[in-house]
Amino acid sequence: MSAPFDYNAPTGAQLQYVKDICRKLKITEFAIHSYVADRFGKQYDDLTKQEMSDLLSEMTSWEHAPAELQRAMGQLDLLGM
């Protein structure tokens, strides 16, 4: 028997949109997962549909990866020296 449908889970379209934005901005999976943990206090896979919508609202305003994501990807390490 299959599990009941979770109406609070992010949609496939939301998950794909996050992947597309990450690919466009060259954000690694580790970096977005770290950002979500810091921003929402939970794992990426545990986000609700509303939290995923909030994340997407933030991400669509980014022209490039924010500093905290660049830092998570090791791109700002030399600037702090």
pLDDT tens, position by position, for the chain (81 residues)? 677 888 899 999 999 999 999 999 999 999 999 999 999 999 999 999 999 999 999 999 999 998 888 888 888 655 554
Query: What is the model's pTM?
Result: 0.84
Q: Please write down the long-range contacts of 72-77, taking CB distance under 8 Å and 24 or more positions apart.
A: 72/28, 72/30, 72/31, 72/34, 72/35, 73/27, 73/28, 73/30, 73/31
